[in-house]
Amino acid sequence: MTARIAILDDYQNAALTLADWSVLKDRAAITVFNDHLEDEAAVIRRLQPFDIVCVMRERTPLPRSVIAALPNLRLIVSTGSRNASIDLAAAEARGIAVVNTGYVSTGVVELAWALLLALLRHVPEEAASLRAGGWQTRIGGDLAGRTLGLVGLGRSGAAMARIALAFGMRVIAWSQNLTPEKAAEHGAQWVEKRALFAGADIVSVHMVLSARTRGLIGAAELAAMKPDALLVNTSRGPIVDEAALIAALTEGRIAGAALDVFDREPLPPDHPFRRLPNCLATPHVGFVTRATYTVFYQDTVKAIDAFLGTPGN
């Protein structure tokens, strides 16, 4: 029996080019969907014929209500080491296997610095001016001698600290579990939460979204920031109170924000982050690199191959 495989949310139409799917050709029929569906009923209608669903983490959610409506589903393969948008208990109750792929973490850090520098040096505005026939229009900021405040000092935060030190920056850090000793191991100084927001010239967020971190940065934290400070978020949108950030940017209480993640994705067409002049926004592309996608889809093929090769499947 041929297994029916759905690959979801392949925005760049890259899945079939970055892995050798031919190993499945005699056992599977593959359908790639490049668009994104938000309506749950539409997602169910699309996925009902499929035995295997390959999801890009946190693009199309698979809650209990969706899983319960997919009678043929036997395997979910999700990119990345975790995917909070899959109801694992519902899958287990139905006997549906859930497999995660490997991950390359360097892309998010690289994008954080790209956004930070572009915002600090007004790269989009200066490039647009040049294309329009203009020349210099703004004075950029500096990194050397400035203070980077890291909210989270795990793998990504520690990488941010190393790069900041190479730029000649001072690094301060805070998270709920961070200790002064652990911060010092990465060349950072531990500070209290409010002191971080008050003292940093640039605040960069590097935490996993959880019940404890949702809304972690709100109106009070933004109010403590310097008027010329910048906020960078390449982790998860809901860690920062969206309404509070929009208000701070609209009123000019902080100089700007660079964002790759949002409460709702894709970002609605009329969202303020699309038009605020002091907001540099990208469409959650921190992990969208060739190296990361290659790992994602090669591991996906391996997982499906192993699943279909199991006796009884």
| Structure confidence by residue, pLDDT tens digits, 82-138 | 888 999 999 999 999 999 999 998 999 999 999 999 999 999 999 999 999 999 999
Domains of the chain listed by start with CATH number:
3-104+290-308 (3.40.50.720), 106-281 (3.40.50.720)
The confidence score (pLDDT) of residue 164 equals 98
pLDDT at position 1 is 72
For residue 98, the model assigns a pLDDT of 97
Mean pLDDT of the chain: 96
**What's residue 104's pLDDT?**
94
Confidence of residue 208 (pLDDT cuts 50, 70, 90): very high
Residues in the chain: 313
What percent of the chain clears pLDDT 70, i.e. is strictly above it?
99
The half-sphere exposure of 154 on its side-chain side, counting CA atoms within 13 A, is: 12
Rounded-to-integer distance, Cα 222 and Cα 220, Å: 6
Band (81; pLDDT cuts 50, 70, 90): confident
Supply the pLDDT for residue 277.
97
- pLDDT at residue number 313: 54
Residues tagged active-site: 236, 265, 284
User: Is residue 311 over pLDDT 80?
Assistant: no
DSSP string for residues in the chain = -PEEEEE---TTS-TTTSS-GGGGTTTEEEEE--S----HHHHHHHHTT-SEEEE-TTTS-B-HHHHTT-TT--EEEESSS--TTB-HHHHHHTT-EEEE-----HHHHHHHHHHHHHHHTTHHHHHHHHHTT----------TT-EEEEE--SHHHHHHHHHHHHTT-EEEEE-TT--HHHHHHTT-EE--HHHHHHH-SEEEE-----TTTTT-B-HHHHHHS-TT-EEEE-S-GGGB-HHHHHHHHHTTSSSEEEES--SSSSPPTT-GGGT-TTEEE--S-TT-SHHHHHHHHHHHHHHHHHHHTSTT-
- At 58, is the pLDDT very low, low, confident or very high (cuts 50, 70, 90)? confident
Q: Quick one: average pLDDT of 70-79?
A: 98
In contact, 267 and 240? CB cutoff 8 Å: no
Task: State the pLDDT at residue 57.
Answer: 84
Q: What is the mean pLDDT of residues 152-158?
A: 97
CA-CA-CA-CA torsion for 176, 182, 188, 193, nearest 10 degrees? 20
Q: What is the pLDDT of residues 20-33, one digit of tens each?
A: 999 999 999 999 99
Query: What is the pLDDT, as a whole number, of residue 231?
Result: 98
Q: Is the pLDDT of residue 310 over 90?
A: no
